Structure 1
Amino acid sequence: MNGKTSIRSSSIATRSGNRCTPLAALKSKITKKRRNVDTGSSVAVKVEEEEASVSQPRSSAAPLSTGGRPTLHPQAIVQPKTETDTLPLASNSRRRRQLKVEYDRDEDVKTERWEPPDWRKQLGYIREMRSSRDAPVDNMGAEKCYDTEAPAHVRRFQVLVSLMLSSQTKDQVTAAAMQKLRAHGCTVENILSTDDETLGKLIYPVGFWRTKVKYLKQTSAMLQQEFGGDIPDSVEGLVRLSGVGPKMAHLAMDIAWDQVSGIGVDTHVHRISNRLGWLRKSTKNPEETRKALEEWLPRELWSEINWLLVGFGQQVCLPVSPLCSVCLNQHSCPSAHRASPAKKPKAGSPRSPDPSSSFKGKIETESAVKDEKSKEESLPTPISPKIQRRKLKSKVDR
């Protein structure tokens, strides 16, 4: 019994099938397994730490472990982006700016301003032909029809009235009507207090004088109610007045207010601009001509171009039968030496011939010609002296 007990106390046997393992051998196996597990886990941890150190840069202040393996600082400092990181953005932005510059250049090419050929040379010749300033517009235009000694608002009103009367009227007739109005008293108050019949006698014989009497009354009433007796200082306000169009508004702004708001285009400016080829496309009315001229003509010439072309149209470039032979632009004007179509007189006017009378005259002339021929045939044919002598000898012989 004592021998069996000592054997059990010195060694503990385990059963693995039919095989028994001593206690020392079991301990050695357990320690080997633990070492293998420790080495595997340490290798795995080392690999994970190295991957973390590669993905996140280690801070310069981060301490190293005693084993030589790097340890991650819990508050790692993130390094700022370098210039190489922003290079792609800079190249993209540079590429966008280049595209924008090219687009702007294309826009400049598309919006290139059109100018008629030789227009500066033609304008210089017109200035030379207008140097004497002896056209009707120079002496009797709207700039010459107001009272220079009147108050400023009265002068501006007289300029507007002269422009309203000048529509479809020669400057000589407009100047005579303005002289009578000024003698009567050309103010807003006097126009309103004058009856229509008297006002009509004062402005007669301007074109459409009856209609202009109504326009003068309506305009004067609006000026007194809305503008305190003065004329508006804008094109929008002027065109609201009765009988005032864009041409009058721009001329009134230039003469009365000394402000260039646009080109005053009348029938002379409209006609000459189309004849000279100063328009990209031919226009049908003065308002279309004004817009076409303002697209290319320099603004500093807008005030001068009206009186230049108006006087030129009154003296040289006439509506019918223009004097192209004395015009300095006859070699560059596309319409030079072309006969203007003459207006045919209306039927029944003193200038128009009577068709019945012309027909009767034609018949009478034809009958007269026939009578003369018959008379000539009825006359005896003249006999020569030799034949007469022969006839006499024959008679004597008998």
Structure 2
Amino acid sequence: MSMWNAVLCFTMTSPYFQNMAFIKRKGVSLTRCTAPASLLSRRMAADASSSSSVAVKVEEEEATISQQTPSLSTTDNRQDLLQLPIIQPKPEAEDPPLSSHRRRQKQIKVEYDKCGSPAKMELWHPPDWKEQLEHIREMRSSRDAPVDNMGAEKCYDTEAPAKVRRFQILVSLMLSSQTKDQITAAAMQKLRAHGCTAEKLLSTDDDTLGKLIYPVGFWRNKVKFLKMTAAKLANDYGGDIPDSVEGLIRLPGVGPKMAHLAMDIAWDQVSGIGVDTHVYRISNRLGWLKKPTKNPEATRKALQEWLPRDLWSEINWLLVGFGQQVCLPTNPLCSSCLNQHSCPSAHQSSPSKRLKVRSPLAPDPASSLPTKTEPGQEIVVKAEPTSPRRNLKRKMKQ
């Protein structure tokens, strides 16, 4: 091949082949010779002789090299070569195939200082809440508060069918809004004697129903709510009450507090904390909330964030009775409360009353009040002035 390449290069550079035409076909260069054939044959013979001389020189150089080094053609040398260990180059470790995402972006290993395990987010709890709850249980151990004897759990007819009992529980909860338990219990007693079912209330006129529930708070509005709720329950639930908070809240006059209490008492399902005015007031006084709340619904959500679920049913009964007996709305009995040393509001809402000192010269206000001697007759007794100066002026005039 080397000789042919030499001939080809010579033909390309020789002046004898200047008139050759080149033809390209599919990227391969083909030559077409136009020089005389005699000149071409002579040139090829000269090139052959020169290449043969070059080959003879190469053979002589190989012979001299073989004399200087031991021959590899002997059997002994071949055996020695076979005994030599064959060292093969170790293949380079190939990286595992990378995904398309790893090809585009190299992964960076991030190392963190070992400063300890990360701290877990602890759930907020008010301080001393367990001790305060135990104190409230101790103060409520007698169970003699109005809610214990006249609450919604005591106002329904225990011998009535199940759906009638559930309806009466809902009615008692609707009547208890902004009403004392004593008045609610009296109204429920009259309704049960009249017939406290959804069908019976629908057939009762508004005036009669108003007289039965009077004097509960907002009794006129509650008459309308009772009639509307009874109609919805009779048409949609067969006289029973819904078994979900969402269904109860859709009823006219039923709020979240009544819905959660109805689920607990009527259906025996704890769906949330029933927060009334007592639970709202006491939770804020004890500091059981992260921030003071302004309404019962916000109080319910704040309490449910940290208070264990197994206490949701008990907390309403405990705090309502505690608010009726000790932690009163006005002038709470902080001095007799077991939580007075841990409550942040202790002795702040119950200031000591100061007796008004009346001057001995001032007239007695009770003496100027009308006194009744007989029915229909009133005699007003005017007190005589006790000031010595006025007595002296009267004496001087006489």
Q: TM-score range by the shorter chain?
A: 0.5 to 0.7
Instruction: Tell me which amino acid in the other structure corresponds to 2:346.
Output: A
C-alpha separation between the residues in 2 aligned to 1:184 and 1:35?
A: 141
Structure-2 residue corresponding to 1:234: 244
> Offset at 1:225?
1.2
CA deviation after TM superposition for structure 1 residue 224, in Å: 1.0
Match in the other structure for 2:387: 368
Equivalent residue for 1:225? Answer: 235
| CA distance in structure 1 between the aligned counterparts of 2:52 and 2:133, rounded to whole angstroms | 111
Q: Structure 2 vs 1, CA of residues 85 and 371 (structure 1 numbering), >3 Å: closer, same or farther?
A: same
Instruction: State, as a whole percentage, how many aligned pairs show the same letter.
Output: 69
Letter in 1 for 2:150: M
Is 2:103 the counterpart of 1:85? no
Which residue of structure 2 lines up, in the alignment, with residue 7 of structure 1? none
Relative to 1, partners in 2 of residues 1:304 and 1:35: Cα closer, same or farther, differing over 3 Å?
A: farther
Note the alpha carbon deviations across 1:193-236, whole angstroms, 9 max, x for none: 01111111111111111111110000000111111211011111
Q: 1:114 aligns with which of 124, 130, 139?
A: 124
1:280 alignment partner in structure 2 = 290
* Residue number in structure 2 paired with 1:252: 262
**Matched length:** 290
What secondary structure is seen at the aligned counterpart in 1 of 2:307? coil
The 1-side partners of 2:271 and 2:94 are apart by 56
Partner AA of 1:279 in structure 2:
L
* Contact 2:248/2:259, CA 8 A, preserved across alignment: yes
1:134 maps to 144
Of 283, 290, 299 in structure 2, the residue corresponding to residue 289 of structure 1 is 299
Q: Residue 299 of structure 2 aligns to which amino acid in structure 1?
A: T
Structure 1 residue corresponding to 2:157, chosen from 143, 147, 166? 147
TM score, norm. by length of structure 1: 0.64
C-alpha deviation, 1:34, in angstroms: 8.9
Q: In the alignment, which of 20, 41, 48 is matched to residue 30 of structure 1?
A: 48
- Hey, what's the Cα distance between the residues in 1 that align with 2:297 and 2:130? 23
Superposed displacement of residue 114, structure 1: 1.3
Which whole-Å CA distance do the structure 2 matches of 1:34 and 1:216 have between them?
A: 128
Within the candidate set 167, 170, 187, 1:160 is matched to 170
CA distance in 2, matches of 1:295, 1:340: 30
CA shift digits 1:278-301 (9 cap, x unpaired): 011111111111111111111111
C-alpha distance 26-144 of structure 1, shift in aligned 2 (>3 A): closer
Deviations 1:61-118 (A, max 9, x none): xxxxxxxxxxxxxxxxxxx9978536997xx88958x89xx9x968x53xx4211100
- Indicate which of 186, 191, 207 corresponds to 2:217: 207
* CA deviations over 1:41-68 (Å, ceiling 9, x no partner): xxxxxxxxxxxxxxxxxxxxxxxxxxxx
**CA 267–26 in structure 1, closer or farther in 2 if over 3 Å, else same:** closer
Higher helix share: 1
SS at match of 1:85: coil
Q: Does the C-alpha gap of structure 1 residues 229 and 326 become closer, same or farther in structure 2, counting only changes over 3 Å?
A: same
What is the TM-score of this pair, normalised by structure 2? 0.64
In 2, are the aligned partners of 1:251 and 1:264 still within 8 Å (CA)? yes
RMSD of aligned alpha carbons: 3.9
Matched residue type, 2:45: K
Matched letter for residue 192 of structure 1 = L
CA contact (8 A) 1:319 1:340 kept: no
Q: Does structure 2 retain, via aligned residues, the 8 Å contact 1:169–1:206?
A: yes
Please tell me the residue identity of whatever aligns with 1:128: E
Instruction: Give the Cα separation in 2 of the matches to 1:265 and 1:230.
Output: 24
Report if the CA contact (8 A) 1:262-1:302 is conserved.
Answer: yes
Deviation at 1:35, TM superposition (A): 9.7
Any idea what the Cα deviations from partners look like across 1:250-297, whole Å, max 9, x if unmatched?
Answer: 000000011111100000000000000001111111111111111111
Work out the CA distance in 2 between the residues paired with 1:120 and 1:82.
64
Are the equivalent residues in 2 in contact too, given 1:320–1:341 (CA < 8 A)?
Answer: no
Q: Output aligned runs, 1:276-355, within 5 Å.
A: 276-340=286-350
C-alpha distance in structure 1 between counterparts of 2:161 and 2:196, whole Å: 12
* Structure 1 residue 142 displacement after superposition: 0.2
Tell me, which stretches of 5 or more residues in structure 2 are unaligned? 1-14, 17-38, 56-90, 353-364, 369-382
What CA distance in whole angstroms lies between the structure 2 residues aligned with 1:94 and 1:163? 64
Which residue is equivalent to 1:263?
273
Q: Deviations over 1:154-197 (max 9, x none)?
A: 01000000000000111011111111111111001100001111
In structure 2, the residue matched to 1:42 is none
For the 8 Å contact 2:334–2:350, the answer to whether it is kept is: no
